[in-house]
Structure 1
Amino acid sequence: MGTVCLKERLQVEPNSIQKVDEKEEDEEVISEFPQEDEEGQEIQLSHFIMLRNLGKGSYGKVMLVQHRVSQKLYAMKVLIKSAVKTSSQKKHIQTERKVLEITNHNFITKLHYAFQSKTKLYLIMEFVSGGELFYHLKLKGRMTEKKMKFYAAEILVGLDYLHKENIIYRDLKPENILLDSDGHIKLCDFGLSKICSMGDMYAKSICGTFEYIAPEIILGEMYTKCCDWWTYGALLFDMLTGRPPFYQLSRKQIMEFATVKDIEIPSYLSEEAIDLLKNLLKRNPEERLGGQRDAQEIYEHPFFKDIDFQKIERKEIDPPYDLGNERPFKFFDQNLIRKSSVHDTPVTELGRFQDFSNFTYNGDKLSNECNKLLIIH
């Protein structure tokens, strides 16, 4: 899913797999937040003006909205409760909501508000205007190594941050990487993520998107955050070749690649790029690049020898694509954008999961309170 993910991914699409074990399915994601805005008023739909449609999915839709007081633009994701059919789907919503709460980074989409009605859930996210990396790959084809290296570096920093927060992403792919107006990346859609607790850094749920999924997940083995480095390698493969490693393969063929066959890496790539991909796409997680010292091993790889990761993290290096001069909403589904009807469609069915406890959130209020403390002290 993602905030401003212009295609909802909460419900896994046909080429994704999603099987949650009973123990993990029963775990409740808890969060506690203030339920009012800075004026003490409860956050609600009437605080926002709906401007246009941005995207739709199985659970609802995404709209561009404007806060009536601040005039700021946001992406509002509306989820219909009755579309949440199982407890595992509910858990995915709660997980994403929790991940967005506990993260704060340049390369992670930001949640500003969350609230609910009897029939719907509302996530008010930052509006990321550059669309999905998937769109740009489809438009321009495979990237040069120079361009890929920039985005690979930003994605690496974002993944490293998630891992340091004890979060296994599990669904890194071009559709879940957004570009802001300057061309920098934003990771989104954390519904399939695993928030690890101290002493429990393993997962066993079978979930992800088939073309990018790590072998240990496909085989149903216990796995760690190292699974993200396989997926990262598959993503880089896609960016450099124009297709993911398991593109258009059947599930049986993917199982064969996961257990027996090696992925063929094109010889037209540089030696450093080939070596990086080979080491990221090792079937054995312990032998995989990142398997021992996590992101640090990848930072040190020769492919990134000319990258200043501190400048990358501070967004001090200009992206290859400058999206600032593009016409508004160019990177969105134009059929949706052109629709004249922009409103929050009423839903009469309450749905099975009416109560999403502790869903309300006001990130702006928390940020302002933190700033006040910094000024006082």
Structure 2
Amino acid sequence: MSDQHHNPYQPYDPYGQQQQDPYGSSYDYAPYPQQHQHQQHQQPVAWPEQDSSQHDSATQTWQTQTWDTTTWQQPLVPDSYASAPMPAHQEPVYEPVPQPAPAPVVVAAAAEPALAERPMTAAEKARAEGRPQIVSPGLQPALLTTVLAVLLAAAAPLGRPALAVPVVLLQAVTAAGWFRLNGMWPARQGIALAFLGGVAADIGLLATDAGQAPKVVLGTLGVWVLLVVVLQLRSHASPDERLYGLTAAAASAALAVLAAGHLAADHRAVVTGALGVAAAVLARALPLPSVASPVVALIAAAGAGVAGGSLTGLGASAALLGLAAGACALVGLRVASYDYPSRFVHMTAGVALPLALAAPVVYVLGRALA
């Protein structure tokens, strides 16, 4: 036996040689080989610190969760970690999805006291409800129409020159009211031209016999329509605006000329017709139901015609004249009430149109009944 001590960590070789592997290299065993192998594959564990940018990219970080009052929060991952390639053995770390901020609550500002407290007009209420914007002139224009009708009735027995004074006033208000009713204001040239047409018709009627009244009225109307066309052709407005101005000016001149029919009518018919118009507009202004108001107005006009016939000697047939004049007055009020008119429209067109539209009827029925 050999005197050498056997190394317990070296394989025993009875021939005193080292163990050879098949490939010709010798090997021996180091102490604790399994522990050494385990230490080579173990990764160090690092807990997250305040500055996460100091961590090595190869060091595995364990994310911790902290409890908030509403949500779980996780430490944010730097951009360098997100762009760097992740090792195969490391699990991905997801960034928390930012929660959107709550939308601010917008409180509508309160309306101004002046606008909030102001009551809606009848036209604004009709527009909000989708109804036609029809506003009747009311009692004050009806009173002015009654005053003008009384002036006509009082001046008719005095002769045609005296009757011309309230007729000229009627023509001026008619010309201005029609242009304002069509939304054309100021339209001084058109108003002046229409008014001068009415004055020309008055002069022609005063200068001729009453039997020539239709020729005078139609001749004046033809000449003034031609003047209106020439005036609109000189305008530099667009074609649509010129056409609209032409129709408004022609209609205003026609109404002013037709209002001169009171001068050509019989004075008894003028009195009866004026009373019928006054009664109709006053009854229409009363606070009655919309269905009953026109009926009451026509009945009042017929009664006023009977009263006028008894005063002038026309008899009971004057009721028809008063009824027809009252119907023309209602048409004039309806025209002056259409499509959101202003107060100026009520005080001009609402006053003049009832008497102006009744002039041709007074002339025709007056000659038939007389």
Instruction: Give the TM bin, normalised by the shorter chain.
Output: under 0.3
Q: Give the TM-score normalised by structure 2.
A: 0.21
Q: Higher strand proportion, which one?
A: 1
Q: Higher helix proportion, which one?
A: 2
Q: Give the TM-score normalised by structure 1.
A: 0.21
